[in-house]
Structure 1
Amino acid sequence: MTTANGTAPSALCRADADGRITFELTEAAGHPDARVLLRRAAAKGSPAPDEHALPLEPAGDGRFRAVLEAEPALAEGRWDVLLVREPGAEPERLRSGPRDLRALLDGHLREWAAPVAVRVPYATQDGQLAVRAWLRPAHAETGHIDVDTRATTVTGRLHGAEFADDGLVRVRLRGARGRDVTVTPTVDADRRGFAFTVDHGELAGTEAPDAPGYWDVYVLPSAGAAPVRAGRLLDDVAHRKHSFVHPSVRAGAATVWPYYTVDNDLSFDVGPAR
């Protein structure tokens, strides 16, 4: 269904620092029981997608408003934002209007308690409105990444956890070939800020790899603690893989490239020299 002017319905949204998101439709929904519906693709083994319905209420000037409160937290993933015009109607994707994300810009400067729940509204490649959500027991937020010819140095900060004296950083090769490179971080006095350096030669080995290998970065607040994935989540960028690009460098017969994954997690791509 389209609106009266022949276009798909659209919504603007505003994100607050506490995780609250307000959606406003630019045209009337038309039914008192209209809803905004957030839908996440069905998890593996689940018969139905996750859904979260929000009532639409008049907001003046012919607009309607729906509010996603900070709690309960959304499960981690990508949530489509849809309009259900009336009970039983087929949900329609909402086009993205303006998104006010200013409150998210300095999220990395705040202290986040466990569990760490993050939400960032964004526009898909075809202009539809969606929300990227992360929900993790703890999180290691990366900051500055300095790549030189021999090593990469990363600064960061733990949220939802703090370092013990035996904390470490583990860089793990993904897949069946999995092996680890373990690094002892430098930890700030508050037990949350940290920095670590990864030697490119340790990732590349002494021989050229015959296929790319992907190494994922984890922080272990203590030697026996559950690994905490390192990445950059605490700002207004839903997808940073192609916008935060770091240089690649030669390491013997290999190339080492630190990069952010599609989930904004920090990894290293190590492959044949190119």
Structure 2
Amino acid sequence: MSGSTGDGTNGPAEQPRGAVTVQEDGRLLVRVHAALPASAQPRLLLQLRPKKGQPERTGRHLDLEPAGPDQWQAVLEAAPALEEGRWDAYVVGVPGEDRVPLLPGLRDLRTLATGRGGDRRATPLAVRVPYATKDGRLAVRAWRRTAHAEAGRITVEGDSMTVTGRLFGARPAEGAVASLHRRGQGSAVREFPLRAEGEQDFSFTVGYTDLLAEGEGPAVGEAPVIWNVHVRPAAGARRVRVARLLDDIADRKAVFVYPATLLGEMSVRPYYTLDNDFSVEVTAQSPR
């Protein structure tokens, strides 16, 4: 992005920067600092990052309204919900530029940190967390799920872990189980009783030895075996992925780290994936 340096020559201009406030009703207020001519009609573009090998689709455009000297703002309403994924933020309408990535400014996520920031009773459940990407840009992480099992406290003790959580869009009923599915073709399934702790809350305990039965552990040098954790709220019901979405953390994998348990030559540890879903990893340890 280029512009005037004030001495009649052209030089680099400050790149637009976006500050975001998550409001209690779930709306995102985006304030953009950008030195644009008075005749400019800029727009905020939220562009869904395509999956590998897929083309980019049309993004979500919002008009940026003047809000002071070199200040513009737009409001992303709570509905319609963003499709699940990562949405990169750009300014469109900058003279001489197709689109300019927004640098991250202040992000006020207090409503998310305190469990507000949207209607938790809505179906599907929609969550949006503004964050700074690894390459220093502003983006929004979005989830949209018809039913959701929010992970709470994870306790690792001995050769087992106990998980507490809360269901949204479903209720625990007779025949409810925690259902762990091994990734890959011909994947195995392990089920554990689900204990209802009220209308929405639940808990379950996973014995690690059950994940190693029938030769399910990997050999030394092989890739780890991953078990994705679900809840089946009732007998015959569709399973619901267990994840941690309802706070202000867009990328939980490196933030919440749980201890590994060594069982013979196998190491077992719970963890959050890049999508903040909850899984269990089994890794073979080399003999000492």
**Same fold? TM cut 0.5:** yes
Matches for 1:175-254 after TM superposition, within 5 Å: 175-190=184-199, 192-205=200-213, 209-210=218-219, 211=222, 212-254=224-266
Aligned length: 273
Match of 1:85 in 2: 93
Matches for 1:82-161 after TM superposition, within 5 Å: 82-85=90-93, 89-107=97-115, 111-161=120-170
Match of 2:13 in 1: 6
Q: Distance in 1 between matches of 2:2 and 2:233?
A: 52
RMSD: 2.2
Structure 1: which 5+ runs fail to align? Answer: none
The structure 1 residue matched to 2:269, chosen from 239, 257, 260, is 257
Whether contact under 8 Å (2:48, 2:56) holds in the other structure is no
Q: With structure 1 as the length reference, what TM-score do the two structures score? A: 0.92
2:59 match: secondary structure: strand
Whether contact under 8 Å (2:155, 2:161) holds in the other structure is yes
Match of 1:76 in 2: 84
Q: Distance in 1 between matches of 2:22 and 2:265?
A: 46
| Deviation string, structure 1 residues 143-167 (Cα, Å, up to 9, x no partner) | 1000112100000000111112111
Distance 1:9 1:111, change over 3 A: closer
Whether contact under 8 Å (1:11, 1:25) holds in the other structure is yes
Instruction: Say whether residues 1:15 and 2:22 are aligned partners.
Output: yes
Structure 1 residue 45, shift from structure 2 partner: 8.3
Distance 1:71 1:25, change over 3 A: same
Q: Distance in 2 between matches of 1:179 and 1:26?
A: 52
Higher alpha-carbon Rg: 2
Q: With structure 2 as the length reference, what TM-score do the two structures score? A: 0.88
Distance 1:70 1:3, change over 3 A: farther
Whether contact under 8 Å (1:173, 1:215) holds in the other structure is yes
Structure 1 residue 90, shift from structure 2 partner: 0.6
| Deviation string, structure 1 residues 61-86 (Cα, Å, up to 9, x no partner) | 43110111101000000000000025
Whether contact under 8 Å (1:153, 1:198) holds in the other structure is yes
Distance 1:239 1:33, change over 3 A: same
Whether contact under 8 Å (1:206, 1:252) holds in the other structure is no
Distance 1:2 1:135, change over 3 A: farther
Bigger shift: 146-155 or 15-24?
A: 15-24
Whether contact under 8 Å (2:14, 2:34) holds in the other structure is no
